[in-house]
Amino acid sequence: MYLLLAVHPGGAALQELTQAGHTLPAAPEPRVIPHAQLPAVVRELEAPRPGGQPPRWIWHRTQDWYPALLAAGVDVERCYDVSLCGTILAFSQFTAHTGYARDSYARDSYVRDSDRVPAEDPLLPPRTLQPPPPPPDQGALFDDVGAASAPRWGLGELRAGYADQQGALAAVGTEENRRGRLQLLLAAESAAAMVAAEMQHTGVPWREDLHQQMLAGCLGPRPHPGQRPARLEALARELRALLNSPALNPDSPQDLMRALHRNGIEVKSTRKWELRESTHPVIAPLLEYKKLSRLHTANGWAWLDAWVHGGRFRPEYVVGGVVSGRWASRGGGALQIPRQVRGAVHADPGHKLIVADASQLEPRVLVALARDSSMAEAARDQDLYAGIAAKGFGGDRAKAKTALLGAMYGATSGEAGRLMPQLARTYPRAVDFVERAARAGESGATVTTRLGRSTPPPSERWFHSQRSATAEEQRRAESIARSRGRFTRNFVVQGSAADWAACWLAELRRRLRGLRGDGAAGTGGALRPELVFFLHDEVMVHAPEEAVDDCVRAIEEAASAAKELLFGTIPVEFPVSVAVVDSYDNAK
DNA sequence: TCTGATCGCGCG
DNA sequence: AAAGCGCGCGATCAGA
């Protein structure tokens, strides 16, 4: 059963579809449901019924509808996010012949700014597929607007948008199961949108007291606003003395660089890797200052005040926020929780954190994409890099890793660049695969992930540079082309890894829901396993101790299901490493 | 005084 | 000038 949910004057419009496809059956008048009653109606429709599958909710944006339902204690099993799926379909090479992209561009309510050239960096292609939504909840500031994150599509638009998408999907050829793969991607992306909303609702369990203890230990007591913590102030004094610069502000790169130069330390920047080259006595306290200053500004007391409430860190996740299909986040630096503060991520009493990550996901994805059987054999090892090193690199693991990463990122110089021929000799198929993606990107072509997510077309700047006349412009054009080549080279690997991760997440969500007993259903979630964090190739489940074994099994089963869904039966493993811990810093 | 770019660093 | 990929964020700095 498919249920369309759209905006309607006075509430929400709900319409049932008896069949879903590109021609939607004539439908009866929709049910109009006042907003206050929507959660109860959804709960009723989600209730298990004998022999029946749960409905699939079709809505414009999961972010518009789902948070309020979750807040009312209602969750749903399946959905179809027309906005996210529309973005995939508008760019996918699998649907390029269908005209869907062109038609959807014409639909003015379909907002996208992906073909806008970023003004700040002429070398880079556009990075985001959607315009940044309004800032996260700022309380009363936006009350008069009220529509900052309100649903936008009425039933007519929703029906038309959904039908167009189903039409495009139906027109995808079945060779190599392209249609099936794209359909899988749409389902996984929609599931990811639900997971993101659920994780945001649940939050990462965060022990504010432990965090504050750590801050006090590293920085001293909490300073007054605008002042440096005691430990930082002491280090700043030491730096000023050592550099004979009484007015030095170590937070200013310019100021700092001048002071370093005055003391004969000839650095070209104040980055820490460059500072480490010098042996001057000021370097050690300077690096210490930088480290603590970063802690204070990025994850200090102000961060705690802003982002942690009621023992939970609730960042906003942006599904599809990266062109490759990775998630982005907004607020609190959710995808950059430093190792230094991970001790504050702590399970509730009677619970454990299950932290699982897909080891060496991207190189394994490359092996599978390229069907490189010699590399597959080497990757049979739990440690892929060691396996690669054993054949082709004389057992030197570090070299093998550098070479493989270099191949995926497009290294041309340094050690990684020098190792490329060596890698290509032993593993020609894998190297050829990324090389072809790079050459396609350089020439302006689109590349596509395993499940059918494609790069946007080259930037206006790329097209413009093609018409270069002078030698100078020519060099510039080549630089722009190489830059796009590195992007597309990496896109096929990073994006296919994101395909895999989305399937992993979706499969895991389904299994975790299957673990919920009826008994715990009404307890608001406190007594059942919950996905609380996802980071590219890593998931965290917060689970009651008695559910840990089942959760670990679910994580592992979901990983092998994801591999099967993407690649079928192939001799490549995607092992996950699982840690059951009280505190995040004990994982890995 | 405000705004947008740049530097630098955290994560994968 | 050349440059291994993808992000978010805070402080500083330059320019309006």
pLDDT, tens digit (0-9, with 9 covering 90-100), for A482-530: 999 999 999 999 999 999 999 999 999 999 999 986 544 444 445 799 9
pLDDT at residue A106, rounded to an integer: 58
Structure confidence by residue, pLDDT tens digits, A208-265: 999 999 999 999 999 998 899 999 999 999 999 999 999 999 999 999 999 999 999 9
Residue of higher predicted confidence among A321 and A112:
A321
| Residue A104 contacts strand B, CB under 7 A | no
Residues A16 and A154 in one domain: yes
Token pair 């909840």: residue: A137
- Written as six digits, the tokens of A287 are 């690096």
Backbone φ and ψ of A196, nearest 5°:
-60, -45
Assess contact for A201 and A67: CB atoms under 8 A: yes
Say yes or no: A348 and A366 in one domain. no
Q: Please give the helix or strand (H or E) that residue A187 lies within, else none.
A: helix A178-202
The first and second tokens of residue A176, run together, are 């190599």
* Whether A445 and A555 share a structural domain: no
Rounded to whole angstroms, the distance from the CA of residue A415 to the C1' of nucleotide C3 is: 15
Provide the CA A38 to C1' C14 distance, Å, integer.
Answer: 52
**pLDDT tens digits for A384-440?**
999 999 999 999 999 999 999 999 999 998 999 999 999 999 999 999 999 999 999
User: Who wins on pLDDT, A20 or A265?
Assistant: A265
DSSP H stretches of helix in A443-470? 460-466
Query: Looking at the structure, do residues A396 and A481 belong to the same domain, yes or no?
Result: yes
First to last CA, chain A: 43
Would you state the torsion angle of the CA atoms of residues A493, A496, A497, A499, taken in this order, to the nearest 10 degrees? 160
Residue A230: the pLDDT is: 97
Nearest to A337 by CA among A384, A304, A370: A304
Distance A332 CA to B10 C1' (A): 12
A313, A206 contact by CB (below 8 A) = yes
Task: Verify if strand B has an atom below 7 Å from the CB of A339.
Answer: yes
Structural domain tally of chain A? 4
User: Å from A32 (CA) to B10 (C1')?
Assistant: 48
CATH of the domain at A279: 1.20.1060
A158 and A245 co-located in one domain: no
A384 and A445: one domain?
A: yes
State whether A324 and A418 are in the same domain.
no
- CATH number, domain of A339, equals 3.30.70.370
**pLDDT surpasses 60 at A319:** yes
Task: Kindly state the tokens that stand for A12.
Answer: 């929400």
pLDDT value at A288 more than 70: yes
- C-beta separation of A55 from A35 below 8 A: no
Instruction: Give A20 or A123, the one with higher predicted confidence.
Output: A20
Give the model's pLDDT for residue A107. Answer: 55
**Would the CA dihedral through A494, A500, A501, A502 be positive or negative?**
positive
Query: What pLDDT band is residue A465 in, cutting at 50, 70 and 90?
Result: confident
- The answer to the question of residue A467 being in a domain is yes
**Has residue A306 got a pLDDT over 80?**
yes
Confidence at residue A526, expressed as pLDDT on a 0 to 100 scale: 56
Measured to protein CB atoms, the chain B nucleotides within 7 Å are 4-12
How many Å apart are A243 CA and C15 C1'? 31
User: Considering only residues 387-446 of protein chain A, which place a Cβ less than 7 A from any atom of strand B?
Assistant: none
Q: Please count the helices (runs of H) and the strands (runs of E) in chain A.
A: 21, 14
* Pair A395, A256 in one domain: no
Residue after which a domain boundary falls, among A167, A202, A237: A202
A402 CA, B5 C1': separation in Å?
Answer: 33
The total number of residues written for chain A in this structure: 588
Domain that holds residue A234: 209-304
Widest CA span in chain A: 81
- Nearest CA-CA partner of A158 in A9, A67, A58: A58
Same domain, A344 and A375: no
Q: Identify whether residues A345 and A491 lie together within a single domain.
A: no
Residue A379 lies in a domain: yes
- pLDDT given for residue A363 in this prediction: 97
**Region A333-345 average pLDDT:** 96
Q: What percent of chain A has pLDDT over 70?
A: 90
Query: CA–CA separation, A206 vs A347, rounded Å?
Result: 8
pLDDT on residue A520: 46
Residue whose pair of structure tokens reads 């369990």 in the numeric block: A205
- Identify nearest nucleotide to residue A121 by CA to C1′ distance: B5
Is the alpha carbon torsion for A524, A528, A532, A537 positive or negative?
negative
Q: Which nucleotide is nearest to A274 (CA to C1')?
A: B8
Residue A309 lies in a domain: no
CATH of the domain at A409: 1.10.150.20
CA-wise closest residue to A562 among A572, A550, A574, A578: A574
- Output the pTM of the full model: 0.91
Is any atom of strand B within 7 angstroms of residue A297's beta carbon?
Answer: no
pLDDT 10s digits, A149-199:
455 789 999 999 999 999 999 999 999 999 999 999 999 999 999 999 999
Report the distance from CA of residue A577 to the C1' of nucleotide C9 in Å, as an integer: 30
pLDDT score of A132 more than 50: no
Give domain status of residue A310, yes or no. Answer: no
CB of A200 nearer than 7 A to strand B: no
A335 CB neighbours strand B below 7 A: yes
Question: Taking a C-beta distance cutoff of 8 angstroms, is the pair A505, A313 a contact?
Answer: no
Domain assignment present for A330: yes
What pLDDT is recorded for position A518? 55
Q: Is the distance between the Cβ of A309 and the closest atom of strand B smaller than 7 Å?
A: no
CA distance A369 to A371: 6
pLDDT of A112 reads 34
Residue where a domain stops, chosen among A475, A495, A515: A495
What distance in Å separates the CA atoms of residue A263 and residue A281, rounded to the nearest whole number?
11
- pLDDT higher than 60, residue A354: yes
A290 Cβ nearer than 7 Å to chain B strand: yes
A339 & A395 share domain: no
Mean pLDDT, residues A99-114: 57
Domain co-membership, A388 together with A368: yes
